[in-house]
């Protein structure tokens, strides 16, 4: 048993936040059906028929545990297919800019007439209203408006985009999953679904709750490379080692800092680190720590400090996480059996539930691989399925 057994999700989203959200829910047992456009119908580049689509899909964690149907939603009959899918669905997800689903005939108000219990989740950059709602954007833009980008960097004046982990996956994907689960729980009480308006910008601001508190309450203006938690102090930073790799130190608490100083034979620094508003007071400590960490390799330092009750960690490269003993022990890197008798390496399941654990039930399938199967399950006759494919309303890979 898995916690979301029996929950049916129709996922019309395409870019990172939506697929990540439905991956999380599928890992927990939800039955996810991707609705995808015909090949070459999007602006993400031309369709390349030379790609090994089976292999690509099998490695893709965003496609695992899911099936895929290809529909041309500009076709009225394809829209009717979506309406029939929505009738039995618990959740419908989309990631278009405001107004697009209305033009495609698959908006919340339309689908609610088909199924008043449906939980409809819209994921956009700026939300369904407000002056920026139609502004195009990506992770870096949402973080800019939210104030997140302005606190990341080394203090040299140039903000540093932190890949697309924060807005897309944390503020977008995870917050969408939490919201969908909350709406499903509310439906248990009310009997009705609702519309969820997820804004990646809103979610990024939400993640700033503690930092915003410091400003609203104390007037603290956070600047990159100047604060204790973004590299402004010697007790919470990264240091380059002899081999050119980095080690991270996070000794905020007095006991961890004391243990570090003792391990480095620098007891005179125990009571000398600067207070929270004086980063410049720790310049001499930082310089000495930098000199010390250059005397050993990253792995040598980690092995030496590991068992001394110090907040320390290696700064792994992505290619190193598949070898990290802790991540392997936690099954966060796994080999998933898939097509052609091969195993495909992916990240594992993040949520850890003791009684109803998550599971990777299958690798992903190429776009449109399930079209005939799904249409037949919905009650379409063989001739109707063939006609939908012949007219281009649906596509079978």
Which CATH number does the domain housing residue 273 bear?
3.30.1540.10
Closest CA to 80 of 368, 369, 380: 380
138 is annotated as an active-site residue: yes
Residue 333 near residue 322, CB atoms below 8 Å: yes
Structure tokens at 235: 């007790």
**197 has which bridge partners?**
122
168 is annotated as an active-site residue: yes
**Whether residue 305 sits in one domain with residue 337:** no
Does residue 187 sit within a domain? yes
First to last CA, the chain: 31
At 361 the three-state DSSP class reads coil
**Whether residue 162 sits in one domain with residue 269:** no
Which residue of the set 31, 168, 202, 237 is catalytic?
168
pLDDT band at 395 (very low <50, low <70, confident <90, very high): very high
**Whether residue 235 sits in one domain with residue 142:** no
**Whether residue 200 sits in one domain with residue 130:** yes
Does residue 346 sit within a domain? yes
Residue 46, pLDDT score: 54
**Whether residue 273 sits in one domain with residue 351:** no
The number of beta carbons lying within 10 Å of the beta carbon of residue 276 is 11
pTM: 0.93
Determine the distance from the C-alpha atom of residue 117 to the mean position of all C-alpha atoms in its chain, rounded to a whole number: 27
Residue finishing a domain among 314, 347, 366: 314
Residue 194, pLDDT score: 98
pLDDT band at 48 (very low <50, low <70, confident <90, very high): low
Residue finishing a domain among 314, 344, 374: 314
pLDDT band at 61 (very low <50, low <70, confident <90, very high): very high
The average pLDDT across 58-84 equals 98
Does residue 380 sit within a domain? yes
Whether 45 has a pLDDT exceeding 60, the answer reads no
**Whether residue 347 sits in one domain with residue 298:** no
Q: Chain-wide mean pLDDT for the chain?
A: 95
Does residue 2 sit within a domain? no
Does residue 44 sit within a domain? yes
Share of the chain above pLDDT 70, in %: 97
Residue finishing a domain among 314, 338, 357: 314
Does residue 320 sit within a domain? no
**Whether residue 374 sits in one domain with residue 255:** no
Rounded Cα–Cα distance for residues 12 and 86 (Å):
11
Which CATH number does the domain housing residue 350 bear?
3.40.50.10540
- Domain of residue 304, residue span: 228-240+246-314
**Whether residue 252 sits in one domain with residue 193:** no
**Whether residue 33 sits in one domain with residue 104:** yes
Domain count, the chain: 2
What pLDDT digit, counting tens, does each position of 163-216 carry? Answer: 999 999 999 999 999 999 999 999 999 999 999 999 999 999 999 999 999 999
Strand (E) positions, 245-304? 246-250
Residue 225, pLDDT score: 85
Which residue of the set 83, 138, 197, 214 is catalytic?
138
Residue 50, pLDDT score: 72
Rounded Cα–Cα distance for residues 248 and 250 (Å):
7
Whether 375 has a pLDDT exceeding 50, the answer reads yes
Whether 47 has a pLDDT exceeding 80, the answer reads no
**Whether residue 58 sits in one domain with residue 199:** yes
**Whether residue 77 sits in one domain with residue 133:** yes
Does residue 274 sit within a domain? yes
What pLDDT digit, counting tens, does each position of 354-370 carry? Answer: 999 999 999 999 999 99
Q: Tell me the C-alpha to C-alpha distance, in Å, between residue 202 and each of 20, 132, 133.
A: 18, 12, 12
Does residue 122 sit within a domain? yes
Whether 371 has a pLDDT exceeding 50, the answer reads yes
**Whether residue 339 sits in one domain with residue 199:** yes
């Amino acid at each position: 048993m898995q916690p979301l057994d029996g929950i049916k999700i129709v996922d019309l989203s395409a870019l990172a936040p939506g697929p990540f959200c439905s991956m999380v829910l599928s890992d927990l047992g939800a039955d996810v059906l991707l609705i995808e456009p015909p090949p070459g119908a999007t602006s993400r580049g031309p369709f390349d028929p030379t790609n090994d689509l089976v292999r690509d899909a099998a490695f893709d964690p965003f496609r695992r545990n899911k099936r895929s149907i290809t529909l041309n939603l500009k076709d009225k009959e394809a829209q009717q297919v979506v309406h029939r899918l929505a009738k039995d669905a618990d959740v419908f997800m989309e990631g278009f800019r405001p107004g697009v689903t209305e033009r495609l005939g698959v908006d919340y108000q339309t689908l609610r007439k088909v199924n008043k219990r449906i939980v409809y989740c819209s994921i956009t950059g700026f939300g369904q209203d407000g002056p920026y709602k139609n502004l195009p954007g990506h992770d870096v833009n949402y973080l800019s408006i939210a104030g997140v980008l302005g606190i990341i960097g080394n203090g040299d004046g140039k903000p540093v985009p932190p890949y697309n982990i924060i807005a897309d996956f944390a503020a977008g994907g995870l917050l969408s999953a939490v919201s969908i689960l909350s709406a499903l729980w509310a439906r248990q009480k009310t009997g009705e679904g609702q519309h969820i308006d997820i804004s990646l910008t809103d979610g990024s601001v939400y993640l700033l709750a503690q930092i915003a508190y410091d400003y609203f309450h104390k007037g603290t203006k956070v600047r990159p490379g100047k604060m204790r938690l973004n590299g402004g102090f010697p007790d919470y930073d990264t240091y380059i080692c002899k081999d050119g790799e980095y080690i991270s130190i996070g000794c905020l608490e007095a006991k961890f800092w004391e243990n570090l100083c003792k391990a480095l034979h620098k007891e005179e620094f125990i009571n000398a680190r600067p207070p929270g508003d004086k980063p410049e007071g720790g310049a001499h400590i930082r310089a000495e720590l930098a000199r010390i960490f250059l005397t050993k390799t990253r792995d040598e330092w980690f092995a030496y400090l590991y068992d001394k009750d110090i907040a320390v960690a290696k700064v792994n490269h992505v290619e190193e996480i598949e070898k990290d003993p802790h991540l392997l022990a936690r099954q966060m890197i796994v080999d998933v059996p898939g097509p052609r008798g091969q195993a495909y390496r992916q990240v594992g399941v993040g949520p850890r539930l003791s009684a109803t654990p998550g599971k990777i039930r299958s690798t992903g399938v190429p776009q449109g691989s399930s079209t005939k199967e799904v249409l037949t399950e919905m009650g379409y006759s063989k001739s109707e399925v063939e006609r939908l494919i012949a007219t281009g309303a649906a596509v079978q890979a």
